[in-house]
Amino acid sequence: MLVQTAPNLTDSKMNKNIILAAAASFIGGLVIMGFVGFYSLPGMMMLEDESKYDFETTVEVFEKEVREAGWSIITVHDMQETLLGHGHEVLEVKIFELCSSRYSAEILKLDDERIVSPLMPCRVAIYKKSDGKTYIGRMDSELLAKPFGGVINQVMQQAASETEVVLAKLIR
């Protein structure tokens, strides 16, 4: 003979408390992860390396290596000169806009991929800091490309890889 017993209200209440505690812990973990991600992303998205050379030599070697790699320098923004014209004094900063037609054409010929055109052309900055050393800064295009997937990821990975080969000749 089977005897049924009434469900234990204490067990039911304990299960609810466990579920609520687990949900609160999960949500709390997500919030903490969000804060950590938000504040660490800028450091992950930008790359900076010290140059082996002084500012002028870094610029000269960079321009030579870019052209030898088959890339074009579309324009150079001399930020020190530009800002001086507006009454601000800053240390040397040159921002180079680079283009490889084989990579840019792969992205720009496809309608859906054109969304990344604001990231084009590739930019590399060469600048001096108050420590007297010269640095090379750029976006981490490989990391930036991953969420896009497909053609954008593939092309940006290749372009970033080529750019890093050029820069490897300049950085410590």
Where along the chain do its domains lie? 45-168
Q: Determine how many CB atoms are found less than 10 A away from the CB of residue 136.
A: 19
Q: Which residues contact 109 (CB under 8 A, 6 or more apart)?
A: none
pLDDT in tens, 73-110: 999 999 999 999 999 999 999 999 999 998 999 989 98
45-168 CATH: 3.30.310.70
pTM tops 0.85, yes or no = no
Tell me the residue length of the chain.
Answer: 172
Confidence at residue 9, expressed as pLDDT on a 0 to 100 scale = 57
pLDDT in tens, 52-75: 999 999 999 999 999 999 999 999
pLDDT in tens, 134-146: 999 999 988 888 8
**pLDDT of residue 47 exceeding 80:** yes
Instruction: pLDDT band for 25, please (50, 70, 90 cuts).
Output: confident
The token pair at 108 is 């720009």
Confidence at residue 42, expressed as pLDDT on a 0 to 100 scale = 56
Q: Which residues contact 75 (CB under 8 A, 6 or more apart)?
A: 96, 97
> What's the rounded Cα separation, in Å, for the pair 108 and 106?
6
> What's the rounded Cα separation, in Å, for the pair 90 and 76?
17
